[in-house]
Every structure is written in structure tokens, then in C-alpha cells.
Amino acid sequence: MSLVEFDHCVSLAQARKIIRPAFEGNLREKKAALALVGGPASGSDLVAEATLADLARQQWAVMGMRQGFFDLMYRDPLRENAHYVSLDKPGSLADGLLTTSRENPLMKRNGSIDSAFIANNVLDPENHVMIITVINKLLALGASVLILQGGDGTLSLTYCLNRLGFLVVHVIKSVDDDYILFPDDPQAGHTYGFESAVKAIQPHIISAKEDAQSENTIIFLQCLGRGSGAIAYQAAVDGEVHGVWAAEDVAAGETLHQFCVRIADFIVDRRKRGIAHAVVVLSENLAIRFEGELGKLKRDRLLNPRPSTVNIGAIIAKRVEKIYRKKWAKISSLRDRVYRMRNEGCMFTCRVVPRKSMSIGDRTYCRGLGSAIAKLVLTGQFGTSARWDPVRGTSASVPIRMLVNPQDGTSIKRMVAPGSSLYHAVQQLREAEKNSKPLYPFSD
């Protein structure tokens, strides 16, 4: 065991010359450390188990961090049994032995994230004490390879750790399907957990349809998806919901009020065709899209300081109802048959589902990804992110540097592109709605 020390600032290239040989010296131990970082996702335990099984066949030991980087940053490595778990057999993760953590060693002493780490190209022992702590704890545990499952911040962190000399392998963990998996084809593939999240939403859609029809109600159903509207779109397509909106539908310069007018027009059009009920699926990323406007509405008690946690469905439902009532009053003097509008959420009931409730495709995908990770470790392809092609049944890898912005290390995200097959399917739903026959002719 050879620990590293830095008593002054050094460039990342200089630090790499010290850190890389220290980890390579541990390779003979055949021990990898595995951490789940960031938010939870269905299938992360399946990915880890498949990795464990393939590495075990080659006499590699895998050590699981009970609480992600939290243990590496704040726990005593000598108390291994208390905070680090030896994953010695497949199936050992089924009972939630490992949990995810949002802790990030790219922090300064004051607790803020050091966003200038990449820009400055310098390792500062004063401000980057946690990174040095993680290095030495991994070395003390005899680990040579670090396997990370995570999303946005984890991808950036992996890029930084790779530049520092860590032998690191990464796999994207996000149910939102908002990451580019293959740089040559940005819309190709899905992140694991996506299919299962869409599947878990379907009972909500079925119930909402029946509920809405039974009392002439407009139900707004808010779905996960901070960076992409993929979950909302796919759930709407699978559930045959004609009213679906995400940030991808917002025109440049369009305000929240103008956007709500469009949704109100959709409801008015249905009402003219004798339909006084509807289910409207909304994506979480609308809160991000209208972040600037939402921040100004301090009087609205529905708001939360963080746009990603704003109940955007409730805000839109309230505004759309007000706009719709005024529009309908100008069209008809009769009492409106639309009873009310309300918001329902399925944000956190579909983020993590039991493995037995996951889609078959997702479970197969997770096992393939786990094997792809093991292959990268065994062949020494470090500084890469694992990929699995479920159609061909083959593994691949993408260099981390191709998945982040080199200027600041932030991850490159994707939204549903207008030319994609999913977007086309949504447009077909909308066209079918416009061309559908009325239940009965409209009359005042």
C-alpha cells in the first residue's frame, strides 16, 4: 500500500504521474470498488450484480460502498466490515445492501462544488482535500479500479478522476433517458430504468382515463424527466394519450402563459367535439424550461426554490383552467360540462420499481450492461463509459471525454429531437386527435 501526499498545488498532469502508478501498483490484488452515486434508478442493483458475477469468474473481488462516496469521504477505511461490503456472490445486492448517495468529492472546504477544477487544471490540496481522501482510502483498501454508476454529476466527476489518474469505469444511471449514449447517433438507445419507468406509469394513465371520463374532469399527470421529455412522450404513446407536452414543445421565446393558452385551446377543441374530459401528460422538464418565470412568482405557494422540484403540473392546471373558463364563456352560454381540472403526480412512484416489476427488456439490458462493465475492467479500458446493444447483444464503450464539455466538464445531455421516431409517434397521436370524429355536433 502506497499512499499519496500533496503539500502544494500541482497541475492535473503532474498529479496523474503520482496517482496513476499508485493504483496500477494495486492491480495485482484484483480488487475493484463499486459505488452508486446520484439519484436512484431501477436496475442499478442488477447492473452491479452482473458486473460482480463476471469479475468473480476471473478471480476479481468487488467491494461495495454502502452509501456511495459518503463512506469514502467520511468513514474510517480500517472499519471495512462496517462501511464497505465484500460482494462475494451474485444476488448479494437484492436486499438493498448498497444505497446511492449524492455526496461528491469535488468539494471545497466550505462545502461548495469546485466548478473551476477543470478550468484551472490544478489540484489544490487545500480545496480538494476530499479527492485526496478518496484516493488514499481506496489505496488503503487495496482497490485498484473504481466502478461508478451515476448520472449528471457522476459523469463530470468520472471525467475529473480519469484526468487525475484513477482507473475508473463508468455507466450512466438515469431513468430520464436524457444522456447521449452513442455520440455518432445522439438519439440511439435508452438509459436503463427508462422502460420500467414508462411501464410503471401506465396504471396511472389507465386510472386517470377512467376517472376523468366518469366525472368530466381534465386530469394533468406530471411525469419524471428533468432533462428530456422522453418518459412523458413514451408513456403517452403507449397509453394513447393525445394531450402530452414537454419542454421540447415550447417555442423559442414562448411564455408560460402562452404555453397554457395552447393547452387550453386543446381542451376547447375537444369540448367542441363533445368531449368534456381529458388526460394531459406533462413532463417535469417544463419546470426547468420556465425556470426564469417561476422564480418571479414568489406569491405562488406551490413553488419550491428548486425548479426541478416545482409542482409544475399544479401550476399549469390552475392557469389552464382559468384560461379555459374564459374562452368557453365566450363560445357558449350553456353551463360548461367540464366539472373541474386537477393535477395528479406519478413522479416518484415510477422512479424505482422492484426488479420483478421491471420490464423484461430492462432486466436483460441491465445484465448486459453489467457484463460490459466487467469486460472494460478486465481489458484495462479505463476512462470509459460502458454501453450495451440489446439488439445485437454486444458490448461497447465510449471515452468519457466524448460525453462532457471539455471546458467545464459538464455532461452533454439530449432531448427528444424533432426527427426522432418517438417525436414522430407523438405527432401522429396529435394528428389522430385533430382528425377524430366528434361525439355529437356542437351547439350553443
Percent of the chain at pLDDT exceeding 90: 44
117 Cβ neighbours under 8 A, 6+ residues apart:
106, 128, 160, 409
C-beta separation of 315 from 304 below 8 A: no
CATH of region 10-189+358-402, choose from 3.40.50.450, 3.90.550.10, 2.30.40.10, 3.90.1490.10: 3.40.50.450
pLDDT for 296 equals 58
Q: Where in the chain is the domain with CATH 3.40.50.450?
A: 10-189+358-402
In the predicted structure, residue 76 carries a pLDDT above the cut 80: no
Buried b (16+ CB within 10 A) or exposed e, 195-230: bbbbbbbeebbeebbeebeeebbbbbbbbbbbbbbb
Lowest mean pLDDT among 219-228, 335-344, 356-365, 417-426: 335-344
In the predicted structure, residue 267 carries a pLDDT above the cut 80: yes
Query: Long-range contacts: 387-396, Cβ < 8 Å, 24+?
Result: 387/181, 387/182, 387/189, 389/189, 390/361, 390/364, 390/365, 393/368, 395/368, 395/371, 396/372
In the predicted structure, residue 107 carries a pLDDT above the cut 70: no
Strands (E), 29-157: 31-36, 61-65, 84-87, 122-123, 145-150
Lowest mean pLDDT among 15-19, 86-90, 263-267, 275-279: 86-90
pLDDT for 88 equals 58
- CATH for 199-352+424-435? 3.40.50.460
Q: pLDDT higher for 232 or 332? A: 232
pLDDT for 124 equals 86
In the predicted structure, residue 298 carries a pLDDT above the cut 80: no
In the predicted structure, residue 201 carries a pLDDT above the cut 90: yes
pLDDT band at 72 (very low <50, low <70, confident <90, very high): confident
The model's pTM is 0.88
* Mean pLDDT to the nearest integer, 86-113: 64
Mean pLDDT highest for which of 79-93, 233-247, 265-279?
A: 233-247
In angstroms, what CA-CA distances link 443 with 114, 253, 328, 334, 338? 63, 36, 13, 10, 16
State how far the Cα of 249 lies from the Cα of 417, in Å rounded to an integer: 10
Lowest mean pLDDT among 23-32, 108-117, 184-193: 108-117
Nearest alpha-carbon partner for 317 in 243, 250, 253 = 243
Dump pLDDT digits (tens) for 351-376: 888 888 899 999 999 999 999 999 99
State how far the Cα of 284 lies from the Cα of 231, in Å rounded to an integer: 10
Computed over every residue of the chain, the mean pLDDT equals 85
pLDDT for 51 equals 93
* Mean pLDDT to the nearest integer, 281-285: 93
State how far the Cα of 166 lies from the Cα of 24, in Å rounded to an integer: 9
In angstroms, what CA-CA distances link 176 with 172, 203, 285, 356, 416? 11, 19, 10, 20, 11
Q: Where in the chain is the domain with CATH 3.40.50.460?
A: 199-352+424-435
In the predicted structure, residue 181 carries a pLDDT above the cut 80: yes
In the predicted structure, residue 411 carries a pLDDT above the cut 70: yes
